[in-house]
Chain A
Amino acid sequence: MIDRILAWDLNEWYLLGWSAGLVLLYWMVPRRFGRVTFWMIWLFVVFLVQTADYILGVPPYDMYDFLDKPKWELPYGVAQFTLYPMIGYFFLYGFDRWEPKGWRLAGYLLLWSSASTVFEWSCLKTGVLKYKDWQLWYSFFTYLSVFVLEIVYFRFVKKWLRQEGMGWRRPEKT
């Protein structure tokens, strides 16, 4: 196990660095959502990421590979459970904070989709990700769809929590 960790190079540390950085940021920024809302977001994003990767990233489609081997690797497993849910969390954090509507919502979605595509481009450059039959612009539209789905899902979560007589934001301490 230690041998494997020592054998990690830039791509593994790049992915783990981003994962750790975003988890740290989560602890640093004021909590906005309640714990139930947080876990609902976490479950949804992990579900989406894994569904996409286990269909598109493995044979027969096999459109891309992560890290050095066409196999499951621990740093990618860590990223699936930390990095991507944190991106989803911060997207909804901003959405709930600024409540963009109309053109501002379109701009907000474009900004997050572009930033995510730039991040993916950096993953390509550092060897985290290797495309086979995939293109960077597919990712832009995939991210756009995922962020729209997140907003729709978030509205459902708020509705379900209201049915329980609860709010989705962190309860105020009395």
Chain B
Amino acid sequence: MGLLFFIAFLVPIAMYYRRMEKTLRPVENAAMYLFLAILDQNVLAQLTIVFSLYDMTQNKWLIWALFLNRVVTAPLALLIYLNLIVRQHNWAARLGITAAMLAVVLTMEYCSVWLGLITYVKWSAWLSPLQWLGHMLLPILFWRWFRRLLRKEALS
């Protein structure tokens, strides 16, 4: 059930990503996807294994749903966000896109809790928007650094 749910969640996101006009270059899209997936995995690992704020599912099927959610769907959604946000020069549009994407990733997280993929132990639901905002802002800084590196090397 959980796995099917998250496959259903992934399909429209993957289709949108495939069809959208990408602002980032292919090498940047690849780098950003990997960065986002690493960030997501590390945050989840720290929150569960190190700080025990969450509990991960012990079910051998549901763990694949969690993997799909955290390593494929969420990074892909945030990659769409990056592609949309970097072409915007209007702050109202940026704010609107950020709010919409925050709603998408929060829906995914709360669905993970509802389906038993993760259980909050010492975590509060209101901390999640802050955590995901960090997930959305940190990659922008990484992308700026990466683009500078790309330009510098292209010029040399």
Q: Is the CB of B31 within 8 A of A40?
A: yes
Of the listed stretches B55-63, B80-88, B92-100, B125-133, chain A binds B55-63
Q: Is the CB of A55 within 8 A of B63?
A: yes
Does A141 count as interface, using CB distance less than 8 angstroms? no
Q: Which residues of A contact B46 (CB under 8 A)?
A: 72
Q: Which of B50, B60, B149 contacts A71 (CB 8 A)?
A: B50
Please measure, in the bound complex, the distance between the C-alpha atom of A47 and the C-alpha atom of B38, giving whole angstroms. Answer: 6
Does B102 count as interface, using CB distance less than 8 angstroms? no
Q: Is the CB of B41 within 8 A of A40?
A: no
Q: Which of A46, A55, A171 contacts B153 (CB 8 A)?
A: A171
Q: Is the CB of A40 within 8 A of B60?
A: no
* Chain B binding surface SS class: helix
Q: Which of A36, A60, A71, A156 contacts B150 (CB 8 A)?
A: A36
Please measure, in the bound complex, the distance between the C-alpha atom of A40 and the C-alpha atom of B28, giving whole angstroms. Answer: 10
CB contact under 8 A between A43 and B38, given known A71-B49, A72-B45: yes
Q: Which of A51, A54, A61, A161 contacts B27 (CB 8 A)?
A: A161
Interface residues of B in 31-69 (CB under 8 A from A): 31, 34-35, 37-38, 41-42, 44-46, 49-50, 56-60, 63, 67
Shortest B40–chain A CB gap in Å is 10
Please measure, in the bound complex, the distance between the C-alpha atom of A54 and the C-alpha atom of B50, giving whole angstroms. Answer: 13
**Nearest CB to that of B42 among chain A residues?**
A50
Q: Which of A34, A55, A58, A156 contacts B30 (CB 8 A)?
A: A156
Q: Which residues of A contact B153 (CB under 8 A)?
A: 34-36, 166, 171
Q: Is the CB of A157 within 8 A of B27?
A: yes
Does B18 count as interface, using CB distance less than 8 angstroms? no
Does A163 count as interface, using CB distance less than 8 angstroms? yes
Please measure, in the bound complex, the distance between the C-alpha atom of A55 and the C-alpha atom of B56, giving whole angstroms. Answer: 11
Shortest A13–chain B CB gap in Å is 22
Please measure, in the bound complex, the distance between the C-alpha atom of A164 and the C-alpha atom of B26, giving whole angstroms. Answer: 9
* Chain A binding surface SS class: helix
Q: Which of B25, B31, B41, B60 contacts A43 (CB 8 A)?
A: B31
Does B146 count as interface, using CB distance less than 8 angstroms? yes
Does B71 count as interface, using CB distance less than 8 angstroms? yes
Q: Is the CB of A165 within 8 A of B34?
A: no
Shortest B65–chain A CB gap in Å is 12
Does B90 count as interface, using CB distance less than 8 angstroms? no
Does B156 count as interface, using CB distance less than 8 angstroms? yes
Q: Is the CB of B58 within 8 A of A59?
A: yes
Q: Is the CB of B34 within 8 A of A171?
A: no
Does B1 count as interface, using CB distance less than 8 angstroms? no
CB contact under 8 A between A50 and B25, given known A35-B149, A60-B58, A72-B46: no
* Sample of 7 further A-B pairs with CB below 8 A, known A36-B27, A72-B46, A157-B27: A43-B34, A54-B41, A54-B45, A61-B63, A161-B27, A163-B27, A164-B27
Sampled A-B contacts (5; CB under 8 Å): A35-B149, A50-B42, A60-B57, A60-B59, A71-B49
